[in-house]
Structures are given as structure tokens and as C-alpha cells.
Amino acid sequence: MFDAQGLLAKDPSSPGRLKYWDNDLCRRQPQLFDFAVTLGGDGTLLYASWLFQRIVPPVLSFALGSLGFLTKFDYADYRGTLSTAINDGITVSLRLRFEATIMRTQTAQGDGKHDLVEELIGDEAENNLTHKPDGSYTILNEIVVDRGPNPTMSSIELFMDGKFMTSGEGSSTQPAD
């Protein structure tokens, strides 16, 4: 990542003058950012979107990647683009973001059946839940769920606004955009 300590060691006058952000600052105080600049490809823009989970500043994304479906500006003209944005303002394109909640299976009482669809939209008893939330994330474009070192197949059930949409099972699953 960013070697702040190395930069501070090279120039003794830099403490107090070197300002930078980290993931924790983006999460705790997103309102401090007037705008963000990304240099890279679509993955860099997606990462910047992930950093800001609730309050998202406008993002000026300069394309350095090969495809650039999401990155809007050409890096060759970064000086002009930044000058125009700062001096004249910018038009913001609002992108739809989704909230994803990871639900973990827990030991069920009774018959041992794990049915998230029944639990969320059926009549399952309040005290007999088969799944519990394990974090919510605001996402842009796509989500990847990694099963880690678990050698078994994963089951994915996709809900939108509380309505069951689809399910999939396999060693890797990616819902279409």
C-alpha cells in the first residue's frame, strides 16, 4: 500500500504537511471528501465505490486500463479535466448502487432444514431462524462472494427488495447485471 513512514523518513520537514487518507478514514468520516480521483481501470473505480459505503463523493475516474466501461476521463488530459472540474464544476452521473447482506447458515432447531427463502418470505417462526446477517455492504455493478478454503459448493439465493429473484449452486456463481 502507501508507504507514508518511508516518505516521512526521507524528508524531515514533511510531518504535519503530508496528508493522506486510509480505508478507516473513508469509513468513519466520508463527509470530509469533496471529491475523489481514481487512476486506473474499472476495478479501481469499483474499489473507490466500495471504500465509501454510505456517503459517496463525486469520483473523477481517469482511464489507465484497457477497457474502461466505467472510467470516464482520459488520463492524457488530466490537467485540463481537473482544472475544469475545480474551476467550473462538473455534471454528476448518479449510478445505482445496491446493498448486499451476507446471510450465514446457523444450526437450525428441529428437522435441520436450512431454507432462507421460507425464512424471509414464508411463515417461519421468529425464534427458529436458520440464517443470521453477517455484514451489509453497498456495492456498485457486481458482488463477488468467495467461499474461501471451503471445498464444498456454495448456495446463493438472491433477493431484491425482500422478493426472491433467483438461486444458484456451484463452486462459483456470478449473477448477471
Per the listing, cell 451476507 goes with: 102
Q: How far is CA 146 from CA 45, 83, 167, in A?
A: 20, 41, 16
Q: Do 136 and 100 form a contact (C-beta atoms < 8 A)?
A: yes
pLDDT category of residue 88 using cuts at 50, 70 and 90: very high
pLDDT digits (tens, 9 = 90+) for 19-74: 777 888 888 898 988 888 888 888 888 888 888 888 888 888 898 877 777 777 88
For residue 89, the cross-strand partners are none
- Taking the CA of residue 14 as centre, how many other CA atoms within 13 Å lie in the half-sphere pointing to its CB? 12
Confidence of residue 149 (pLDDT cuts 50, 70, 90): confident
- Angstrom distance (rounded) from CA 18 to CA 20: 7
Residue 133 near residue 103 (C-beta atoms within 8 A): yes
- Please report the pLDDT score of residue 12 as a whole number: 75
> Which DSSP symbol is given to 137?
E
Q: How far, in Å, CA of 95 to CA of 1, rounded?
A: 28
- Provide the whole-model pTM: 0.58
